[in-house]
Amino acid sequence: MLLAAWIAGRAAERWALADLRRTAHATLALQVAALHAEMQKQASLPLALAADPEIAAVAGASMSQDPALSQDLVARVNRRLAQVAAATAAAVIYVIRPDGITVAASNAEAERSFIGRDYAFRPYFRQAVATGAGSQFALGTVSGRAGLYLSRRIVGTGGVVVVKIEFDGIEAAWRAGGDGVFVADSRGIVLVASDPAWHFSTLRRIDEDERRRIREALEFGAAPLAEMPLHPIPGAPDRVRIGRGAAPARPALALDAAIPGTDWRLHTLTPLGGAVERERVQAWIIAALLTGLACLGLTTLADRRRRQRRRLAEVSARREELEGCVRERTQELTDANRMLRLEIEERRRAEAERERVEAERERVEAERERLGRELAQAGRLAALGQFAASMAHEINQPLAAIRAYADNAAILMQRGRTTEASENTVAIGRLTDRIGGLTRQLKGFARRASPRREPVPLDAILRDGLELVEARARGAGIPLVVDAPRAGLHVLGDGPRLEQVLVNLLQNALDAVAGRPDPRVTLRVSEDGDRVGIAVHDTGPGLPEALRAQVFDAFFTTKSDGLGLGLAIARGIVEDCGGSLTAGDDPAGGAVFRMDLARANGTAEPEAAGYREARH
């Protein structure tokens, strides 16, 4: 099969190459005829225009600077040249006077018109002046587009009329055909090509003298004139490989033919890969199929009897195998039933264990809640000792004043000054009420309270909370700056417990600024929609990033004598009241603890009275 496929592939390759050559030769002849016809159509145009009397008048009068030449004549010639260029598909037509200056052009109205430009250096101009006609393929110095320039001398004036032909349409038709097509001059420089990358490349190396002459004549601009990436295939004179650099080379059939009337040659590069490879693969498949079918037929005839004997043996062996499979399956089913019973029993035990663990979990949860309540009460009692120390100093001052007022009242009564003595007794009553208010705050703070949410006046919470810490702040020389809330602002929560949280935050702030330069504690109240924020700022060392996530954990503290319960209890109280308690760094320095609560709408005086009754 391999030998037959190889022979068939070689034969198919030769047939495909022969057929491809015939098609390529026919295509080459058609391409040459089409290009020659296009050039012949345009070649007669300069001759006809050179005989036009108005064009001759423009060229001759421009040289002699005849004042009778009017601008109307030049404008009329420009319009006629534009009409002729549009009708003949010429790129541009222009008239040059004998000194090389353009005086009329079909693109006179364009932004980059040729009028007034000097083309005396162009070979097509010099050829027309010397011999009467000239031609040159070059890159336009103004338009930057390549084309064939056909020139003709105007008899009697010495001027020259030039027609430029561009081959964009022909190149587009070549690209649509799929083959590589290009035209090269006698020097081997590619002028027109289906691939724009081939423009101004060379079929052979150009020596330095010729390169210098081309640059001086501005024929191809700054084109490097690099060699085309065509590599001959050894043993195949009409085949080449197309490729440059690391890109894989593509084989192609290379043919060329001369273009009549010029020194140009038209080259075609017909790809070989697709057509030849298809024929080769088809030949391989056909040869392999035919050879395989023949071998299959012979093998079928030779093996038929042997297959029959083997089939009988296989039937007997299959019967024995089936009986063995039945026995094995029966044993597997028995084992599966036994394992299923064991699994059912294991699941029953697991279910019982799950129920026991669930009951234990519920018991542990209830115990945890009980311990949490006891822990909160213990924290309040622990904080109570700190608050009592602050209140002792606050109560001592009213007691000392009461003693002084009582002594003064006794003396005044002995002297018969009863009016002044009664004023002292009124002052004693006022100071006694103040001591009673302080003790009521202490008792309300100490007792266990159940979570409740009711409208409470925010100014009462702030006033009573500040009374518990003002004595300590004054004694330590720490200013308390309070941003008082607006009158009548109420929040939802449990008043005494919120007062407990505020006192805890203020005590912590005083601890943080103790011994610091410029100590200060600030209390600010803000409103945002239906939320009210109470923020306690201090000028202490602040909260490091590593401690912010732990400050609300139970038993975590940075104080040598602290229990680590205050902030944990405070967060629980605020969350019971439907709010939140957060901690962070103050941008101005220090730390800030913020308590956000829900604002109570439609509050009335009875609610404030209820809060005061709860405090009593």
Q: Are residues 67 and 113 in the same domain?
A: yes
Q: Are residues 80 and 209 in the same domain?
A: no
Residue 356 within a domain: no
Task: Please state the pTM of the whole predicted model.
Answer: 0.43
Taken in order 107, 108, 113, 117, is the CA torsion positive or negative?
positive
Can you tell me the mean pLDDT for 536-564? Answer: 77
Pairing of strands 480-482, 521-528: parallel
Identify the band that residue 310 occupies on the pLDDT scale cut at 50, 70 and 90. confident
Residue 27 within a domain: yes
pLDDT at site 615: 42
Rounded Cα gap, residues 3 and 291, in angstroms: 10
Rounded Cα gap, residues 267 and 169, in angstroms: 18
Q: What is the DSSP string of 13-72?
A: HHHHHHHHHHHHHHHHHHHHHHHHHHHHHHHHHHHHHHT-HHHHHHHHHHHHT-TT--HH
Mean pLDDT of the chain: 80
Domain boundary among 166, 181, 203: 166
Per-residue pLDDT of 135-153, as tens digits, reads: 888 888 887 788 889 999 9
pLDDT at site 598: 92
Domain boundary among 121, 145, 166: 166
Residue 103 pLDDT more than 60? yes
Quote the domain boundaries for residue 37.
Answer: 1-42+167-271
Q: Are residues 508 and 591 in the same domain?
A: yes
Per-residue pLDDT of 416-435, as tens digits, reads: 888 888 888 887 887 787 67
Rounded Cα gap, residues 343 and 335, in angstroms: 12
Q: Are residues 1 and 25 in the same domain?
A: yes
Q: Are residues 109 and 150 in the same domain?
A: yes
Residue 322 within a domain: no
Residue 395 within a domain: no
Can you tell me the mean pLDDT for 393-412? Answer: 75
pLDDT at site 210: 83
Rounded Cα gap, residues 507 and 561, in angstroms: 14
pLDDT at site 282: 66
pLDDT at site 32: 86
Better-predicted residue by pLDDT, 387 or 527 = 527
- Residue 78's domain is classified under what CATH number? 3.30.450.20
Per-residue pLDDT of 357-380, as tens digits, reads: 988 888 888 887 787 677 666 666
Residue 588 pLDDT more than 70? yes
If one counts the domains in the chain, the total is 3
Those residues whose C-beta lies under 8 Å from the C-beta of residue 589, and which sit 6 or more positions away, are 539, 542
Taken in order 565, 568, 570, 572, is the CA torsion positive or negative?
negative
Residue 399 within a domain: no
Q: Are residues 155 and 190 in the same domain?
A: no
Rounded Cα gap, residues 488 and 604, in angstroms: 9
- Residue 569's domain is classified under what CATH number? 3.30.565.10
User: Which 3 state secondary structure label does DSSP give 437?
Assistant: helix
Lowest-confidence region among 24-28, 310-314, 596-600: 24-28
Structural contact between residues 133 and 148, judged by C-beta atoms closer than 8 angstroms: no
Q: Are residues 495 and 582 in the same domain?
A: yes
Residue 281 pLDDT more than 70? no
pLDDT at site 606: 42
Q: Are residues 29 and 176 in the same domain?
A: yes
Residue 478 pLDDT more than 50? yes
Rounded Cα gap, residues 27 and 519, in angstroms: 99
Q: Are residues 185 and 211 in the same domain?
A: yes
Residue 597 pLDDT more than 90? yes
Rounded Cα gap, residues 229 and 332, in angstroms: 74
Residue 161 region by backbone torsions, left for phi larger than 0, else alpha for psi between -120 and 50, else beta: beta
Identify the band that residue 495 occupies on the pLDDT scale cut at 50, 70 and 90. confident
Beta strands in 58-188 (DSSP E): 92-96, 102-105, 133-139, 146-153, 160-165, 180-184
Q: Are residues 176 and 68 in the same domain?
A: no
- With 0-12 / 13-18 / 19 or more C-beta atoms within 10 angstroms meaning exposed / middle / buried, residue 523 is buried
Rounded Cα gap, residues 429 and 444, in angstroms: 22
Per-residue pLDDT of 327-351, as tens digits, reads: 888 888 888 888 988 989 988 999 8
Rounded Cα gap, residues 86 and 165, in angstroms: 12
Better-predicted residue by pLDDT, 181 or 547 = 181
pLDDT at site 616: 35
Can you tell me the mean pLDDT for 566-593? Answer: 86
Structural contact between residues 159 and 59, judged by C-beta atoms closer than 8 angstroms: yes
Picking from 522, 490, 505, the residue whose alpha carbon sits closest to that of residue 597 is: 490
Lowest-confidence region among 47-61, 220-234, 403-417: 220-234
Residue 436 within a domain: no
Rounded Cα gap, residues 224 and 211, in angstroms: 9
pLDDT at site 451: 61
Rounded Cα gap, residues 251 and 95, in angstroms: 47
Amino acid, res. 82: A
Beta strands in 488-559 (DSSP E): 490-493, 521-528, 531-538
pLDDT at site 521: 92
Domain boundary among 271, 292, 326: 271
Residue 499 within a domain: yes
pLDDT at site 344: 93
- With 0-12 / 13-18 / 19 or more C-beta atoms within 10 angstroms meaning exposed / middle / buried, residue 501 is buried
- With 0-12 / 13-18 / 19 or more C-beta atoms within 10 angstroms meaning exposed / middle / buried, residue 147 is buried
pLDDT at site 554: 67
Q: Are residues 114 and 34 in the same domain?
A: no
Residue 592 within a domain: yes
Per-residue pLDDT of 242-273, as tens digits, reads: 766 545 667 777 888 888 888 888 888 877 76
Identify the band that residue 608 occupies on the pLDDT scale cut at 50, 70 and 90. very low
Q: Are residues 516 and 486 in the same domain?
A: yes
Structural contact between residues 592 and 583, judged by C-beta atoms closer than 8 angstroms: yes
